[in-house]
Structure 1
Amino acid sequence: MQERQHSHANPAFPLNFAPLEGTRRDCEDCGNGARLGFQFDYAYQPIVDLHHRTVFAHEALVRGPSGESAATVLSQVNDQNRYRFDQACRVKAIKGAAELGLEQPVSINFLPNAIYKPEVCIRTTLEAARIHGFPLEKIIFEVTEGERIEDGPWFAEILREYKRCGFQTAIDDFGAGYAGLKLLADFQPDIIKIDMDLVRNIDSNRARQTIVRRLVDLCRDMEIQVVAEGIETPAERDFLYDSGIHLMQGYLFARPQFRAVAELDPAALHMGRR
């Protein structure tokens, strides 16, 4: 991995980030699960930019320590360990991305209801990025739209703080829950990811086509990038591309690879009618 030199200082960010006592050891403990009570790791799946036929970013997807499904890990998360798990995810994903030498951004899912000390949450992430030499602007924090948010305005403020700190933000599974448009009214993320249920067979479903086209228009007006996820067929890809979506993710392009960088299928990057 190329050595990167960058500064994390940002005068626009209102919190005073003094180094945490024992931060390096704390980050290592979070990363290896020593204090969490169970082990986990990550697979990485690319998000492709079809306009340039390149990788836009990689999503870090939680897995068991030997590549087991995400469900085997998430079933062990409860109210007692939710906060530590959220912190561990950040550290582990950043460390893994740095070790793989990823040049593109890494997208990390986080649990909004686990954030009860924003200054500590962000400070731990800053320290993990510093330790592993991963630029802040290449970290995307995703939150699932369907996640039950206890306090919407407070959550929007948390996302605004993340953006001021230099991170990118994304709403995942957009269209799967009921709070999407209200959340967009309170906060405009850098990216929204359209839920795969809206994408599935969109080439032959007029209702889904209308919804997605209107959503693309809305995001264009709000200067939000759109990612379509769960792409499995060339027909889905072609319709979405023709609708103005150039960022996509799904098995058509590459499956997640455990502790590795996935290789794209070159043929999937070329539209059938082009």
Structure 2
Amino acid sequence: MEFPESIKQQTCRDCLSGKTLGFEIKMAFQPIVDWHKQAIVAYEALVRGPEGQGAGWVFERINDDNRYYFDQACRVKAIETATRLGCQAYLNINFLPNAVYSPETCIKATIEAADLYGFDLTKLVFEVTESEQIIDKNHLQRIFSSYSKRGFKTAIDDYGSGYARMDWLVDLRPDILKLDMQLIRDIEQHPDQQKMVKQVVQQCLLQGTQVLAEGIETRGELDCILALGIHLVQGYYFAKPELEHLASVPFSSL
């Protein structure tokens, strides 16, 4: 994917000058759990509007003119808020690959934000968001490679929906693969879903990718996921996203 030179120069100038989106964003955080350890190992940062409006409200206001600034603003806001709240776990940040014209250049604001607020760079995980179509897999491979060389972890979000297919998993080799909630919903009642998840788990074992099941809402779903060999989990069963707050998980009552 190639961006015109004029756009590259303009976006860099605007980023350095603090160009705003025209509306405020905030972050909600949802815990990611290692069930074997009975511990929260990460928080996913989820964008919200100024009054806590959902991600849909925010994305309605994103277009080709402000996509780059939005991607940068989300990273900085996630790091700033997580640091202010005392986050010591990994921080999962969604990013828009179509807003990244150069991985090496576009990561500078992230590094500067982490340095400014004192957040450990080695605890950043970058997730490919499902909110826009990925039109260039090679471009995404370059982003993943660049981020990995810098010590960041990478993740494919919502695997099993949209563009996410086995060939993407094999070619991109993310550190973490997050199974889409549609694969998880009532999985204990559907052998076909279980078979699909087994195949994904086997491939991830071969290439050293961790599997995370997101969207878990019931004990039945959790038990089935654990039986399939997955111990990284996320969903309303553990905790809902909370605006500008690091939610806890009541392990003793689950």
- Report if TM-score (shorter chain) is over 0.5: yes
Counterpart residue number, 1:4: none
CA distance in 1, matches of 2:47, 2:130: 18
Are positions 1:183 and 2:168 aligned together? yes
SS in 2 for 1:262: coil
Compute the displacement of 1:166 (Å). Answer: 1.3
> What are the within-5 Å matches in structure 2 for residues 114-153 of structure 1?
114-144=99-129, 147-153=132-138
CA distance in 1, matches of 2:29, 2:61: 21
Counterpart residue number, 2:79: 94
Counterpart residue number, 2:179: 194
Counterpart residue number, 1:73: 58
AA aligned opposite 2:37: H
State the Cα deviation string for residues 24-58 of structure 1 (Å, max 9, x = none).
x75xx4xxxx6211111000000000000000100
Structure 2 residue ranges without an equivalent (≥5): 1-11
Q: Which moved more, 1:79-88 or 1:182-191?
A: 182-191
> What are the within-5 Å matches in structure 2 for residues 39-58 of structure 1?
39-58=24-43
Query: Would you say the 8 A contact 1:107–1:139 is kept in 2?
Result: yes
CA distance in 1, matches of 2:176, 2:22: 33
State the Cα deviation string for residues 210-251 of structure 1 (Å, max 9, x = none).
001111111111110010000000000001011100000000
Query: Would you say the 8 A contact 1:146–1:178 is kept in 2?
Result: no
After superposition, the CA RMSD in angstroms is 1.8
Counterpart residue number, 1:13: none
Query: Would you say the 8 A contact 2:30–2:239 is kept in 1?
Result: yes
Compute the displacement of 1:63 (Å). Answer: 0.6
Give the aligned length.
243
Are positions 1:235 and 2:214 aligned together? no
Query: Would you say the 8 A contact 1:170–1:193 is kept in 2?
Result: yes
Compute the displacement of 1:268 (Å). Answer: 5.5
Counterpart residue number, 1:220: 205
- When normalised by structure 2's length, the TM-score is 0.91
Aligned sequence identity (%)? 48
CA distance in 2, matches of 1:178, 1:68: 27
Compute the displacement of 1:179 (Å). Answer: 4.0
> What are the within-5 Å matches in structure 2 for residues 196-211 of structure 1?
196-211=181-196
CA distance in 1, matches of 2:41, 2:250: 15
SS in 1 for 2:247: coil
Compute the displacement of 1:21 (Å). Answer: 8.5
Compute the displacement of 1:92 (Å). Answer: 0.3
CA distance in 2, matches of 1:212, 1:146: 23
